[in-house]
Amino acid sequence: MANKDRKTSVLTVREKEIVRLTILGYTNKQISKKLIISTKMVENHKAKVIQKSYKSIQKHTKAYKSIQKLNWKISLN
């Protein structure tokens, strides 16, 4: 995996913390107070997490489709 891809696919420590607090039921406002950042920053981090998740799903879907095609071609021989 290229270094750029790794940076965009791995969650940062801050993103992981925001995900954890969100799972625990904290609101954006509560997270911002707890981490001493703005509510807008919390929203930005959440958007990044969603974006990275989407990219990961796309990558895995492409790989799965490639494997399916390969298996289909092999099964014809």
3-state secondary structure of 12: coil
CA distance 25 to 31: 10
Q: What is the pLDDT of residues 9-49, one digit of tens each?
A: 689 999 999 999 999 999 999 999 999 999 999 999 999 99
Residue type at 58 in one-letter notation: Q
Q: Sketch the domain layout of the chain as residue ranges.
A: 12-76
Where b means 16+ CB within 10 Å and e means fewer, 14-44 reads: ebeebeebbeeebebeebbeebeeeeebbee
Q: pLDDT class for 3, splitting at 50, 70, 90?
A: low
Q: Under CATH, which architecture does the 12-76 domain have? A: Orthogonal Bundle (1.10)
